[in-house]
Amino acid sequence: MKTQLLDLQKYLGDNNYDIAYISDPTDINYFTGFYSDPVERILALIVFPDQDPFIFAPALEVGSVKKAGWDKDVFGYLDNEDGWKMLADHIKDVKSDPKACATEKDNLTVQKFEIVKKHFPNAEFPGNLSRYMENARLIKTPEEIENLKAAGKEADFAFEVGFKAIKEGRTEQDIVAEIEYALMKKGIMHMSFDTIVQAGANAANPHGGPEKNLLKKDELILFDLGTVHNGYISDASRTVAFGKPNEKALDIYKVDLEAQYAAMDAAKPGITAAELDKVARDIIDKAGYGEYFIHRLGHGMGTSEHEFPSIMEGNDMVLKPGMCFSIEPGIYIPNEAGVRIEDCVYITEDGNEPFTHTSKELKYID
Ligand code: MN
Ligand code: MN
C-alpha cells in the first residue's frame, strides 16, 4: 500500500474516525494511482484506520482499477443495481455501525451526502477531510516528482510540435490539433486541460480559448498546455513571435520574462508565497504594466492544477522542499497583445528545479 494511504490510516486512528469516504477523483488518484471521473455514477475509496481499504466503482471501471495496480478489494456495481445500498453493505461488512466519518466536504455534494446519511443514521461527519488532503498533497514525494518531471518533458515536446506548426493560413485551432495529434501518436493520451493557442489580441484574454483566428504575421502567439503522466500533470506557457511584432509587444515580453526569471531565482525554502508573488509583480508594476497582470503568480499542482500553495498576495505560507507550483506572470493589454511565461517547479533544499525546459528567450518564427 502507498505511504500516502498508511499516513491517512494513522490520521484516522489518531483522530478517532471509524472510516473515511473519499470521492474526489484527484484524491482517489493520489491514494491509488487510478483516475476516473465517474460523473453521476459512484466511485469511492473507503479507508479504515485498522483494516484494508477498498474501492467501490461502476462495474465498467473495475478492470481499469486493477490495471492501475490496486491490489486490495475492488467492488463493482451495474447501472441497474442499487449502488448506494451495495456500497453501504460492503462498509457494514467491515465496520457494522460507523460513528465518525471523515468526508471531503469541499467535494461531496449535498445530494450524495443525504444518501450516505440515510444508510448510516448513527454516523456523524466531524471535520473536513478536504483540509487534510490539501496538506497531504502539499509536499510531494520523490516518486511524485519523477512523474511530474515526465509530464514536464511531454509538455516540452508539445511546444516543439506547436512552434513548428505555426504558418500563415493556419488557425489557432489548427495548431492545437497538430499538437494533440502528435502527442497521441506518441501514446500521450490526455491533456491536463484544454490546450490554449492564442494569437495577437486574442492572447489578451487569459482564459479564452483558441478560435478560428487565422495566424497573422508580426504578432505574438501564446501557448499554454500540459499533459497527464501516471495521473500527474504538467502545465506550462510560452509566448513566441511570428514575424516581427511591434515595439510594445516586444516590451511586454521583455518585462514579463524579467519578472519570470526573477521569481524563478527567488523561489527557494524560506520565502513566503506572498513574497514570491511580489518579486514578479514589483518588476511588472515598475515597468508600468501592473494593471495588466490580472492574476496570481502561480498555483500548486500535482494530480490536479488546483492545489496548495497558492502563490499570491495574502498567503504567508513559507515555501518548503517538495512543494510544487507554477510561476506564471502574464501581461495582457486588451485589444493588443498578451504574454504569459510559465514553468512549474519543485522546491529543493536550496532553490528550485523546473519541470519544463523549453527556452524562454523570445523565439522568432518566420
Ligand atoms: Mn498554464
Ligand atoms: Mn498554470
**Distance between Cα 230 and ligand 1 center (Å):** 19
Nearest ligand for residue 155 CA: 1
**Distance between Cα 29 and ligand 2 center (Å):** 20
**345 vs 326: CA distance, rounded Å:** 6
DSSP structure class, residue 213: P
Q: What pLDDT is attached to residue 213?
A: 86
**Distance between Cα 123 and ligand 1 center (Å):** 41
What DSSP string describes 23-87? --HHHHHHHHS-----TTS--EEEE-SSS--EEEEEGGGHHHHHHTT--SEEEEE-TTS-HHHHH
**E strand or H helix at 248:** helix 247-266
**Distance between Cα 224 and ligand 1 center (Å):** 5
Nearest ligand for residue 207 CA: 1
Q: What pLDDT is attached to residue 340?
A: 98
- What is the topology classification, in CATH, of domain 142-365? Creatine Amidinohydrolase (3.90.230)
Q: Which residues of the chain have pLDDT under 50?
A: none
Rg (CA), the chain: 23
Q: What pLDDT is attached to residue 236?
A: 98
CATH number of 3-136: 3.40.350.10
**Distance between Cα 140 and ligand 1 center (Å):** 20
Nearest ligand for residue 326 CA: 2
**212 vs 193: CA distance, rounded Å:** 19
**Distance between Cα 351 and ligand 2 center (Å):** 20
Q: What pLDDT is attached to residue 2?
A: 87
**Distance between Cα 195 and ligand 1 center (Å):** 9
Contact indicator for 25, 48 with CB cutoff of 8 Å: no
Residue 24: C-alpha distances to residues 27, 41, 42, 145, 234 (Å): 5, 13, 11, 21, 20
User: Whole-prediction pTM value?
Assistant: 0.91
Contact indicator for 12, 48 with CB cutoff of 8 Å: yes
**Distance between Cα 44 and ligand 1 center (Å):** 29
Q: Where are the domains of the chain?
A: 3-136, 142-365
**360 vs 115: CA distance, rounded Å:** 51
**Distance between Cα 81 and ligand 1 center (Å):** 41
Q: Residue 143, SS3?
A: helix
Nearest ligand for residue 196 CA: 1
**Distance between Cα 337 and ligand 1 center (Å):** 17
For residue 303, count CB atoms less than 10 angstroms from its CB and return exposed for 0-12, middle for 13-18, buried for 19 or more: buried
Count of CA atoms in the C-beta half-sphere (13 A) of 148: 29
Amino acid, res. 311: I
**Distance between Cα 304 and ligand 2 center (Å):** 11
